[in-house]
Structure 1
Amino acid sequence: MAAKTTSPSSQPTLKTYLTWTTIAPLIALVLLAITWGSYDLGIVPVVLVAIALAGAVLAAVHHAEVVAHRVGEPYGSLVLAVAVTIIEVALIVTLMISGGSETSTLARDTVFAAVMITINGIVGISLLTGSLRHGLVAFNAEGTGAALATVTALAVMTMVVPTFTTSEPGPEFSTPQLVFAAISSLALYAMFVSTQTRRHRDFFLPVSPDGRPLKADEHAEPPTNRETITSLVLLLVSLVAVVGLAKVESPAIEDAVAAAGFPQSFVGVVIALLVLLPETIAAVNAARRDRIQISLNLGLGSAMASIGLTVPAIAIASIWLDGPLNLGLGPTQMVLLALTVVVSVLTVVPGRATRLQGGVHLVLLAAFVFLAINP
């Protein structure tokens, strides 16, 4: 009997791994290690960091799609949303611990910016992209509605209620209230993930305009276990580089914001935009393939993870934090949040959307950015 031979083309080679999606995250990580802690970078390092940041973003999107192709939906969207949020939370907590009382509103501003960018930005551009390409986009109203309800409950409990509590002066929780908010946030997030991935997983899968489940993309064979693990590791490396390089770029961003005459708080909006780029690109790619449900999973899932993981993290970090922890939103922010929730409900209920709904969400995002510049 002839010995079984393996085709040379099926064996991984050095060339297989030396692709730009492998090299870019590693270069970005090395550059992050070199520049971390530097506050006075010259123009050339700033440009190099920006290029490395862009490469890490694109690499993160690629590796997230590889992982998603292997594990399927909605697990793929969940992996990217949670990975980005965990790294973002670590950055927020680190800055709050090192920044002292000057960072009392950092968590609130960052989380609120993430919520507005995801619900209005990612959802809006996905709906607009999908409808421009396919005319009418469809999604499962049951799953998307459940996600929106969870995000709304989390946002109101953690960012609106503190403005009206009386146990502490200012828009902050007392210690028992903060503990309750942290436990409630974790419980809501855990219940949603269980619903999304187990009992009612079909609520979060792509559907056709007539409500029929769509088959999984079959344009390529699923990646092997080795390729999936490699992409998962490189995804985490890419996301660490994205968040870290965004922090490295923040002094240059602060200088640009100051030169433009914008409020200093706008820096947080810019950094949030950079950190959420991988999810935004992944959502737009899904919308172009008429998989709008995946886009909504990414947008709403990211908003949910941003609140559900950040609040418990800062509740623990508050043990070491000095000064107040202001979580309550101001009047303008609350109006924008309420308007976003109302518009989102009207978008979700029909289970279908046109370019109009996408445009409305993008206008709300523009209003948020404009009012962040002109409060």
Structure 2
Amino acid sequence: MRTLLRLVLTPTAIVRLALGWGSFLLLALTPLLAGPPPAALLWMLLGGIVVVITISAFGVVTEAEHLARRLGDPYGTLVLTISIAAIEVILISAVLLGPGEHETIARDSVMAVSMIIMNLVIGIALLLGGMRHDRLKANSTGVSLYLGMLIVLLSVAFALPGLIGEGGAYAPGQAIPLAVLTVGLYTFFLMRQLGAQRADFQEVVDVRAPASGPDLIPEPITALLSQHGAELGARTALLIVMALPIVLLSHDMATLLDDGLSRLGAPVALSGILIALIVFLPETITTIRAALGGELQRVSNLCHGALVSTAGLTIPAVLMIGLITGRPVLLAESPVNLLLLALTVLLTLTTFISRRVTPLHGAAHLFLFVLYGLSVLV
């Protein structure tokens, strides 16, 4: 046990934990956020929170990379994607259950996450990875499975409530079956991804490369758990404990951002994008590293898998919260955002089924994200 603790709970990890949780407790137990702070203090607090979140994010990335190396895909990346997505759902749920009117928080958050992950993060990753590697190629079957799930889940989230709902929200008789069906579909997807169709989410092996070597023969998950179960459990727990301060501090940062943006006269909706960027910072760093290493399928597993988890967990959660509390949950998106989302899915399809992914694909994704940003600012 002592050896395991020294292996996992390194001095660097302890410092990151102390910094993240200490900053959260400092803000929670002191009156710094009791009222609108002066402008200088506001921007100092914002800068400090961003620094702490960034340091914590690198800790999450470190643990995620240890798990990915030990487990292989899709297990390794799935731990990170589900952890971050679950924390995002908890944050959205906390805002919905808190004081104030936040009927559109789920819609705005998931839309921002969708555009950030599928265009900004993937765009940067493909741009940088494509300039380093001439032959980037993903597993087309795995990408098509992700996109199939996203088409269904995002349609249920954003398009269908505007057509069959009441004022952009589902009626109770519609919310219950849709929540059950969404959970069932997402569960079935995970079972297939981790079981019979695991190979569809692994890197494409170059036929010109040697067909031997220990890395090309994945070890069964049961053998991995029996041999390294204690280490895997400890690293997973540490990853979650490191990720929690990121979201908790992001919640505090939301208050400061809303105040700061209102003083600058900027759109308040911009705060949702900035918070989503911070929450998914660990996954962004890991994705860019994967692209630089030529692991395009891991890029898809991280980004598309994170969005599938976010949509698959968020939709049922907010629908149930709306039913329990009696609060309306507005999900229907604007025609502009629906168009941008459709273009994003189409561009993703053409990008990842290509025989060779290039930096131009990344530039196109970044262009779409700029269009989304302009639609928010205008």
**Structure 2 length normalisation: TM-score?**
0.87
Q: 2 CA distance for matches of 1:153 and 1:234?
A: 33
Quote the offset at 1:112 in angstroms: 0.9
**Alpha-carbon deviations, 1:35-90, whole Å to 9, x = none?**
13834463554443332211111111111111122221101111111101111111
Matched with 1:181 is 178
**Alpha-carbon deviations, 1:268-319, whole Å to 9, x = none?**
1110111011111111111111111111111001111111001111122113
Q: Which structure 2 residues correspond to residues 298-317 of structure 1 after superposition, within 5 A?
A: 298-317=302-321
Quote the offset at 1:226 in angstroms: 4.4
Matched with 1:3 is none
Quote the offset at 1:208 in angstroms: 4.2
RMSD of equivalent CA atoms: 2.5
Matched with 1:251 is 255
Amino acid in the other structure paired with 2:125? S
Q: 2 CA distance for matches of 1:215 and 1:103?
A: 54
Mapped contact 2:183–2:313 kept (Cα < 8 A): yes
Q: Which structure 2 residues correspond to residues 281-360 of structure 1 after superposition, within 5 A?
A: 281-360=285-364
Listed as ranges, the gaps of 5+ residues in structure 2 are 217-223
Quote the offset at 1:216 in angstroms: 7.7
Q: 1 CA distance for matches of 2:317 and 2:56?
A: 26
Structure 1 residues 264 and 224, CA, compared in 2 at 3 Å: closer, same or farther? Answer: same
Amino acid in the other structure paired with 1:89? V
Q: Does 1:228 align with 2:239?
A: no
User: Which moves more between the two structures, 35-44 or 130-139?
Assistant: 35-44
Matched with 1:192 is 189
Quote the offset at 1:238 in angstroms: 1.4
Mapped contact 1:254–1:264 kept (Cα < 8 A): yes
Quote the offset at 1:159 in angstroms: 1.0
Question: Percent of aligned pairs with the same residue?
Answer: 28
**Alpha-carbon deviations, 1:157-215, whole Å to 9, x = none?**
221111111x52x1111112112221222122122212211111111111245598997
Q: 2 CA distance for matches of 1:33 and 1:121?
A: 32
**Structure 1 length normalisation: TM-score?**
0.88
Quote the offset at 1:325 in angstroms: 1.2
> Match of 2:99, SS?
helix
Mapped contact 2:203–2:296 kept (Cα < 8 A): yes
Structure 1 residues 12 and 201, CA, compared in 2 at 3 Å: closer, same or farther? Answer: closer
User: Which moves more between the two structures, 18-27 or 60-69?
Assistant: 18-27
Q: Does 1:35 align with 2:31?
A: no
Structure 1 residues 174 and 127, CA, compared in 2 at 3 Å: closer, same or farther? Answer: same
Mapped contact 1:89–1:313 kept (Cα < 8 A): yes
Q: Does 1:370 align with 2:374?
A: yes
Amino acid in the other structure paired with 1:91? L
Q: 1 CA distance for matches of 2:370 and 2:112?
A: 12
Mapped contact 1:154–1:308 kept (Cα < 8 A): yes
Mapped contact 1:22–1:234 kept (Cα < 8 A): no
Structure 1 residues 107 and 215, CA, compared in 2 at 3 Å: closer, same or farther? Answer: farther
Structure 1 residues 235 and 259, CA, compared in 2 at 3 Å: closer, same or farther? Answer: same
The number of equivalent residue pairs is 359
**Alpha-carbon deviations, 1:220-276, whole Å to 9, x = none?**
xx9955443332222101111110111111222223322332211221111011101
Matched with 1:84 is 84
Q: 2 CA distance for matches of 1:204 and 1:358?
A: 21
> Match of 2:310, SS?
helix
Quote the offset at 1:360 in angstroms: 0.7
Q: Which structure 2 residues correspond to residues 246-285 of structure 1 after superposition, within 5 A?
A: 246-285=250-289
Q: Which structure 2 residues correspond to residues 140-219 of structure 1 after superposition, within 5 A?
A: 140-165=139-164, 168=166, 170-208=167-205
Structure 1 residues 82 and 13, CA, compared in 2 at 3 Å: closer, same or farther? Answer: closer
Mapped contact 2:79–2:236 kept (Cα < 8 A): no
Q: Does 1:68 align with 2:68?
A: yes
Matched with 2:16 is 24
Q: 1 CA distance for matches of 2:183 and 2:13?
A: 34
